[in-house]
Amino acid sequence: MNQTSAPAAKSLITENVPEGWKQLEDIVTTILAECGMSAQRGVTLRLPRGSVDVDVYAEETIEGIVHRTICECKQWRTNVPKSVVHSFRTVIGETGANRGYIISTSGFQAGAVEAAAATNIELLTFEEFQRTYFAKWIGKQIWAVEEERTGTRASRLRLLQFLRPQLIL
């Protein structure tokens, strides 16, 4: 293994490679849930012009504000084309989601990358998705262990101060 790939591998949440689209959706749902979000797989959402089925829907409340995330998971042998991004932009816009992810195990065509530019949609490989959520995921895991060990919320505040000393609580 070369030096550049070793640190990157350390920031993956799982080494499991999804064997199909259902498993990809399940893993994405689990990662978001383990990051503290309310996450569901296979959700039907109402839109102004009907309804749409989304692969993964997650919500998180931060300081009283609900943030909605929708993920479209693609376990394809080919790169995702721009037509998928165009359709997903409509879904994100009409649902009012704050963030949208198209997660692919194969990658994206150049047109898809252009179509997602300057939007609230990110195109991520499965590995990039894991790296995006790694810090949040590991923080939740550490907090859970610390709370289990001490049984107090105060330990969470001490740990937060340790991890982010610039914060004034």
Mind listing the pLDDT tens digit for each residue in 78-117? 999 999 999 999 999 999 999 999 999 999 999 999 999 9
Q: How confident is the model at residue 2 (pLDDT cuts 50, 70, 90)?
A: very low
Confidence of residue 5 (pLDDT cuts 50, 70, 90): very low
Residue identified by tokens 């998971």 is 73
The pLDDT assigned to 1 comes to 36
What pLDDT does 6 receive? 45
What CATH topology corresponds to 17-132? Trna Endonuclease; Chain: A, domain 1 (3.40.1350)
Q: Which of 6-15, 50-59, 135-144, 156-165 has the highest mean pLDDT?
A: 50-59
124-142 pLDDT, tens digit each: 999 999 999 998 888 888 7
Q: What is the pLDDT of residue 152?
A: 62
Q: Are 45 and 71 in contact (CB under 8 A)?
A: no
Domain ranges of the chain: 17-132
Over its C-alpha atoms, the chain yields an Rg (Å, rounded) of: 18
Does residue 167 have a pLDDT over 50? no
Which residue from 80, 78, 137 is spatially nearest to 103, judged by alpha carbons? 80
Name the β-bridge partners of 53. 44
Report field, pTM of the whole predicted structure over 0.85: no
Whole-number pLDDT of residue 165: 54
**Is residue 123 over pLDDT 90?**
yes
- Dump strand ranges (E) for 21-165: 38-47, 50-62, 65-74, 99-104, 121-125
Res. 4: pLDDT tops 90: no
Report residue 81 as tokens.
């084309």
Q: What tens digit of pLDDT does each residue of 22-79 get?
A: 999 999 999 999 999 999 999 999 988 899 999 999 999 988 999 999 999 999 999 9
pLDDT of residue 169: 42
